[in-house]
């Protein structure tokens, strides 16, 4: 049995901290293995570059494939975790997998719920995207070939960012992104946690375990709170 059923009934903030801590410990152990070391694949990592205000949530890691031909196609990767947990550190394998294939990768941290709710996550990742656009050439990247990738909650965020670059929305972060004129070359949203407007309706239809329902509901509420309709009106 995984520990998730046991954690599902904890308060959301405590559950998120417990899952993140456990995942980071396991990730650290896994990344110590020789086959998980970036140097093995000629990838150089520049950790914890600040893209915004001072503090841990506004950091990203840069993965540079040193043997690939420059300028490099570039991916900004946004981790999943139900908007409330995990980090760039738990998703290093995703960044390394892309860098091994010749992509310059920016692996991003952002503020998490329930302490920070919508639009904090989108504000942060939008700011990170503009930082990537402005700094990509420093790391050998091609400013005209920037794409986004993310899974689960990260899939939601990268899709929202992509929409905000192409259409004007009311939210301040979206207007800033649209006005910047940035053009994305692609978006990969893997099993994105997309429609949060009717989580209870979805859970009423879904055939999933009760503990999984609690986690899904908690993740959605941890991101948008109870004012789901406002978020839906404002956000991509």
pLDDT at 179 over 60: yes
Q: Give the angle subtended at the CA of 60 by the CAs of 215 and 100, to the nearest 5°.
A: 95
Q: Radius of gyration over alpha carbons of the chain, in Å?
A: 18
Which pLDDT score is estimated for 24? 86
Which pLDDT score is estimated for 1? 43
Cβ atoms of 80 and 152 closer than 8 Å: yes
Better pLDDT: 34 or 211: 34
The pair of structure tokens assigned to 18 is 């417990």
Dihedral sign of CA atoms 189, 59, 36, 67 in order:
positive
HSE-CB at 171 with a 13 A cutoff on CA atoms is: 23
Of 48-62, 74-88, 126-140, the least confident: 48-62
pLDDT at 11 over 90: no
- Say if residue 15 is preceded by a cis peptide, omega within 30 of 0: no
**For residues 44-73, average pLDDT:** 94
Better pLDDT: 207 or 140: 140
Instruction: Please give the CATH topology (third level) of the domain spanning 4-234.
Output: Rossmann fold (3.40.50)
Q: Could you tell me the residue ranges of all domains in the chain?
A: 4-234
Quick one: 169 exposed, middle or buried, by C-beta within 10 A (0-12, 13-18, 19+)? middle
> What is the tens place of the pLDDT at every residue in 113-172?
999 999 999 999 999 999 999 999 999 999 999 999 999 999 999 999 999 999 999 889
pLDDT at 234 over 80: no
């Amino acid at each position: 049995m995984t520990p998730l059923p046991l954690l599902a009934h904890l308060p959301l903030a405590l559950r998120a901290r417990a899952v993140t801590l456990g995942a980071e410990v396991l990730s650290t152990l896994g990344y110590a293995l020789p086959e998980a070391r970036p140097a093995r694949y000629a990838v150089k990592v520049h950790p914890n570059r600040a893209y915004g205000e001072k503090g841990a949530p506004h950091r990203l890691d840069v993965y540079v494939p040193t043997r690939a031909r420059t300028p490099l196609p570039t991916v900004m990767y946004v981790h999943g975790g139900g908007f409330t947990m995990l980090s760039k550190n738990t998703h290093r394998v995703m960044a390394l997998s892309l860098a091994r294939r010749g992509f310059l990768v920016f692996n991003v941290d952002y503020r998490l719920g329930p302490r920070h709710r919508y639009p904090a996550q989108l504000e942060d990742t939008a700011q990170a995207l503009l930082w990537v656009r402005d700094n990509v050439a420093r790391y050998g990247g091609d400013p005209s070939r920037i794409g986004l990738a993310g899974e689960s909650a990260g899939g939601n965020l990268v899709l929202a960012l992509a929409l905000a670059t192409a259409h004007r929305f009311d939210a301040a972060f979206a207007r800033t992104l649209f006005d910047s004129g940035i053009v994305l070359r692609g978006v990969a949203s893997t099993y994105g946690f997309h429609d949060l407007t009717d989580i209870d309706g979805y859970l009423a239809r879904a055939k999933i375990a009760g503990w999984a329902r609690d986690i899904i509901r908690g993740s959605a509420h941890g991101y948008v709170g109870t004012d789901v309709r406002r978020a839906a009106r404002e956000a991509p």
